[in-house]
Amino acid sequence: MYWLTNSLKNLYRSRRRYIPLAVMYFILVCGAAAGVYTFIRMNTATEAILREYAGVCEVGVSKSMADIYEETPPVTKDQLLSLGGSYGTDEAKISKYTFCTADVSAEYKAKAEIGADGESIDINSPVFVFGYEPSLTYLYSSELELGEGELFKAPGECVISKNENNTSPDMVSWNRLSLGDTVSLAVGDDRVDYKIVGIIAENKDEDSKTNRRMIYTPLESAELFDKYLTKDLSLPSSSTLEPELFTPEASAGTMINLGYSAVAFLESPDLLFDINDRIIDSIPGFNIQLSPMHGDFAALTKLTETLASSSVLFIIAFALIILIVTLITTFRLISERKYEIAVLRSVGMPKLRLVICYLIENLAFVWGITIAAAAFSIIPARPAVGKVLDTIKQMVAPEIFTAISGFGGKVWFYSSVSVFLAMTAAAALTLIFTAVSILRFRPLEILIRRD
């Protein structure tokens, strides 16, 4: 016990020697630890968000939306079935996607009743109806950025999108719709009424100019059109799909498309890109839309990759700093305290005990500063983390971000492991260096002034 406390006391006794080094080391470790903290924290958050994205990424396969708007079917039914076949057979087995195409060749007609006086307008162009599973609504809320009203809650309620910039006759009529109005859709022999409870903010993107007649409603309300899907889909390969692949998410993503298009919902973002490449090869002339349901998936992926590689660099830098400073401290400790070592050897201090004492002193210094600096580094790291998290927040739906932002357990795990490994390596090298230095040490020349 005496030797332990004496070694620690030596830190205080040699404080003038240690303080400048401690300050330098503290700053270095603080910077490195802040970097590690920030990057790992960010990386963990984005990775978790990407995992959440799995299953809700969408790939749309269609001719351009302009073609749909012009009501010139871009593909024949046979072609679309062929596309469905492509999904349903080859790709389905490989990619495990959960739902594929929809082709409703029925006549369509949207009739909107406006106001209490029952004024009616006819919309003679495609209207897209999206049915959402209520429990998954949060996943879609980034798209449903409401300008007025609220999100639909009950069957028969809907949110519509408008675009004042679009001057086509149908769109001008559509833009007259407001909260409380009713939109009636007729498909085949069926008619469905939707009460408007929310209106989506306008001009979100360029594409909205041609694609604003959209109705978002609970899945239950949209499912009324399912029979058209099942009737007309006629996927020759659907029987080959595994039943369990039809997950609730798949149902939630069922797109009732009163135009011509195909949509697939995938379980894995990675598979999404894989399928995309294959479709491009197999169906020339199709417009492939990669549409992650929320935020900029590609940017987030890139950010994650950057953060991951940066984290590794910072961890390596962190470890190197610990190693280098430990060795410098040890070297200084041995070289500047040769006299002290000589004295201790001359009075019979065993070499091994001397090695242990200097090792304790050195490691107490290095580890003490490291732990203190690592803990302190959170202070400068927090605003940096906050800034990057804000960036990520803009890329994803707020609900996802909130769910993910508390996910930080791995940060401390990785940080602890990296610090532990660096310290262990530093301890091992220090032990070797200290032992070799002291074991080879001869006190005679230092202590004896020969006459």
- What is the binding site for another protein (CB under 8 A)? 2-3, 6, 9-10, 13-14, 339-340, 342-351, 442-444, 447-451
The phi-psi region of residue 447 (left if phi > 0; otherwise alpha if psi is between -120 and 50; otherwise beta) is alpha
Strand pairing of 214-218 and 157-161? antiparallel
- By CB neighbour count within 10 A (0-12 exposed, 13-18 middle, 19+ buried), where does 82 fall? middle
Taking the least distance from each CB to another protein, the nearer of 436 and 447 is 447
| 241 HSE (CA, 13 A, CB side) | 22
Is residue 190 within 8 A of residue 236, CB to CB? The reply is no
Helix, coil or strand: residue 129: strand
Complex with another protein: residue 364 or 372, whichever CB lies closer: 364
Q: 159 or 357: whose CB is closer to another protein?
A: 357
**Residue number, 10 or 430, with CB nearest to another protein:** 10
**Smaller CB distance to another protein: residue 213 or 345?**
345
What is the C-alpha to C-alpha distance for residues 146 and 150, in angstroms, rounded to an integer? 7
Q: Taking the complex as a whole, how short is the minimal distance between the CB of residue 326 and another protein, in angstroms?
A: 22
Nearer Cβ to another protein, position 345 or 393?
345
Minimum CB distance to another protein, residue 31 (Å): 31
Shortest Å, Cβ 427 to another protein: 24
* Closer CB to another protein, 206 or 451, in the complex: 451
Shortest Cβ 351–another protein spacing (Å): 8
User: Shortest gap between Cβ of 15 and another protein (angstroms)?
Assistant: 9
Burial 283-293 (b: 16+ CB within 10 A, else e): beebeebeebb
Q: Kind and range of the H or E element at 215?
A: strand 214-218
Nearest residue to 100 (alpha-carbon basis) of 219, 293, 254, 276: 254
CB of residue 358 to another protein, shortest distance in Å: 13
Q: State both tokens at 166.
A: 């679009």
